[in-house]
Structure 1
């Protein structure tokens, strides 16, 4: 029995090491003092972290990605909440097909979506617009927001909402004061996953982004294609550390189990 426990611990340790090792290598490379990717290195330096502030294209792309993620994730949640409530509360013909339609972007390769959106935007003459880029991201990230919101809304007890309505509250007030707080963990988790997916989206964005709407993943991809310096590694390290900080803060304030599972 003790032997099985040892092998189980060894297996899980090796699995975690396999997952974490690439991140450790990226972080280690970002501290090199050389002008090219080198590991091991002769010395440690913050040279490439200071270079981020001087890289105008990277900084501009970072702000584009942040605004794009905020806008598309917010729109996706605004669509996911009424959609989830309708799908969980009512039985109607085509309900299963409608849910499958909402979740279908998960099954379509992003290359196919990128080509389709590029063709559509070229035909409609709306290329280069931040608004339409955000709408493409909404299509891709809506399933993530919808799944967690559905998880929170499924089996939701409506007695409190009915009590509020019977006491004279309007439907909007009952939603805002009763229903929304009950499904808030799912909504918050859905928004967070949608934001992460939007911020990290590369494949589809390569087809529809323009020089004025270049996102950070696209800028990093272009940097890798044109140069061998460790700038991308330093940017990746900043993103890794930022993600860890956000996760710790969310765990302290809300609890990651509530945010990621979507249950209150």
Structure 2
């Protein structure tokens, strides 16, 4: 068995601390009883968590982010499945170019996408609408769903599909009984990653959202410009613990390794 040496263990420990320290500081500051963003030194308080319940703007923004993330991730996966099937099962001229086109939102700066969406939606007359937010988010998160669905199909054995066809199964039966079960880890993992990306998106959304249609990250961004009280820290803490709880439930019910990597042999 290979064991990590002292330098490797030290590097991993420093990496974990580097990743967790900012979250720990934000969580700690959210319990301050003071009016400024600073670490509590004497007492802890839930004052700013109660303040969330009295701020309807944050509550509305959170609900919009959840709704937008669920619909956008679902649409992205519905588009990813046929695209991944075509790209994994067929070889045709221009296939590599099509793959690059589908994955291009990953390499285009979100500021550029935001300006382009703002111009396009302004011309179309739908700036700030839910349809504009949904369309822009689906385009941005589509590559994440496509990559995971495509990876699950690439790792599967096409011989199973040919065997089902040779035994008289119809195309729909082959898809439902053979292909879909092999795709489930990629579909589930792609949906979760797409939802997280949609919920967390702020750079591009700043250009598309309006005061009446702000997602939670955009609302936090604008709130920080206007105020320095710990309300943003308490909101961030709720999101952090909500994410941990969601991942824990998913891991207990389905398994994160199975969802993101696939079933192990």
TM-score, length basis structure 2: 0.93
Residue 251 of structure 1: CA displacement? Answer: 1.8
1:197 matches 2:191: no
Q: Distance in 2 between matches of 1:33 and 1:128?
A: 36
CA contact (8 A) 1:27 1:237 kept: yes
Q: Distance in 2 between matches of 1:7 and 1:138?
A: 43
Q: Which range moved further: 32-41 or 207-216?
A: 32-41
Counterparts of 1:184-263 in structure 2 under 5 Å? 184-262=184-262
Residue 39 of structure 1: CA displacement? Answer: 1.4
Structure 2's unaligned 5+ residue stretches are none
Structure 1's unaligned 5+ residue stretches are none
Q: Which residue of 1 aligns with 2:150?
A: 150
Counterparts of 1:130-145 in structure 2 under 5 Å? 130-145=130-145
CA contact (8 A) 1:148 1:262 kept: no
1:142-165 residue CA offsets vs partner (Å, 9 max, x unmatched): 010011111100042234434444
Residue 172 of structure 1: CA displacement? Answer: 2.6
CA contact (8 A) 2:118 2:207 kept: yes
Counterparts of 1:46-125 in structure 2 under 5 Å? 46-125=46-125
CA contact (8 A) 2:132 2:208 kept: no
Q: Distance in 2 between matches of 1:88 and 1:24?
A: 42
1:30 matches 2:30: yes
CA contact (8 A) 1:72 1:134 kept: yes
CA contact (8 A) 1:200 1:217 kept: yes
Residue 128 of structure 1: CA displacement? Answer: 2.3
Residue 224 of structure 1: CA displacement? Answer: 0.8
CA contact (8 A) 1:69 1:195 kept: yes
Counterparts of 1:3-18 in structure 2 under 5 Å? 5-18=5-18
CA contact (8 A) 1:151 1:263 kept: no
CA contact (8 A) 1:148 1:190 kept: yes
Residue 169 of structure 1: CA displacement? Answer: 4.3
CA contact (8 A) 2:31 2:40 kept: no
Q: Distance in 2 between matches of 1:220 and 1:174?
A: 47
CA contact (8 A) 1:48 1:234 kept: yes
Residue 5 of structure 1: CA displacement? Answer: 2.1
Q: Distance in 1 between matches of 2:188 and 2:18?
A: 30
What is the aligned residue count? 261
Q: Distance in 1 between matches of 2:127 and 2:11?
A: 49
Q: Which residue of 1 aligns with 2:129?
A: 129
Q: Measured at CA, do residues 195 and 70 of structure 1 come closer, stay the same or move farther in structure 2, by a change above 3 Å? A: same
SS of alignment partner, residue 211 of structure 1: coil
Cα RMSD for the two superposed structures: 1.6
SS of alignment partner, residue 45 of structure 2: coil
